[in-house]
Amino acid sequence: DAKTTQPTSMDCAEGRAANLPCNHSTISGNEYVYWYRQIHSQGPQYIIHGLKNNETNEMASLIITEDRKSSTLILPHATLRDTAVYYCIVREASWGKFQFGAGTQVVVTP
Amino acid sequence: EAQVTQNPRYLITVTGKKLTVTCSQNMNHEYMSWYRQDPGLGLRQIYYSMNVEVTDKGDVPEGYKVSRKEKRNFPLILESPSPNQTSLYFCASSFTPYGGSEAFFGQGTRLTVV
């Protein structure tokens, strides 16, 4: 079973920031938080991951709460091409399987 | 360009006719795996490989075989395909199997078994 809970869907206006929440209340100290997205039926695309600290790269920012029980993926300036299913995944440091849940369907509108 | 390449992208076959879906990565990754994606069930891991000649079952291995004779290649073999193996398949690779290493996914193979 997936270890994360995400909203089923959300809309975002083009050019605005998209904030995608994820709950992972049972996360343990050696588990990472990963975000992937899947555009239509293409292969999942890596976005970002983190362990404890907030992370930022050219695609997005990841904000992890201090207790690590939840996180938020921030797409700073959403474009129409960001329309996709976004997956929040908790992955053990010692093991490789990515457990994909249902994800959040994000629709960016003009 | 760093990538995971799957072939073919689309395949329609008949029940019982053996087929192989190839997967190749050019990043010198140790860890490779296969997933299938079905509506309402998400992505599920079929098989994985920690390194050359080391493979193991994932969550849904029945009806599939794999091999890892070279580091870059990880083919998925369906010896006797059945209609319930109609699905969208993804190959993935990562530098290591451990947390902190991101996985790269191929573009997918849509298989239809009639």
Cα-Cα-Cα-Cα dihedral sign, residues A19, A85, A7, B33: negative
Strand partners, B69: none
* Distant-in-sequence, close-in-space partners of A38: CB < 8 Å, separation ≥ 6: A44, A45, A84, A85, A87, A103
Q: What confidence tens digit (pLDDT) does each residue in B56-95 have? A: 999 999 999 999 999 999 999 999 999 999 999 999 999 9
Task: Using an 8 Å CB-CB cutoff, list residues of chain B that contact chain A.
Answer: 4, 31, 33, 35, 37, 42-43, 45, 48, 58, 88, 90, 92, 94, 96-108, 110
Which of A41, A45, A96 minimises the CB distance to B31? A96
Chain B within 8 Å of A46 (Cβ-Cβ)? yes
Which residue spans within chain B are E strands per DSSP?
A: 4-7, 10-13, 19-25, 31-38, 42-51, 54-57, 65-66, 76-78, 87-94, 103-105, 109-113
Helix (H, G, I), strand (E, B) or coil at A49: strand
Q: What confidence tens digit (pLDDT) does each residue in A16-50 have? A: 999 999 999 999 888 899 999 999 989 999 999 99
B97 CB neighbours in chain A (<8 A) are 95-96
Percent helix, strand, coil in chain A, to 5, is 5, 50, 50
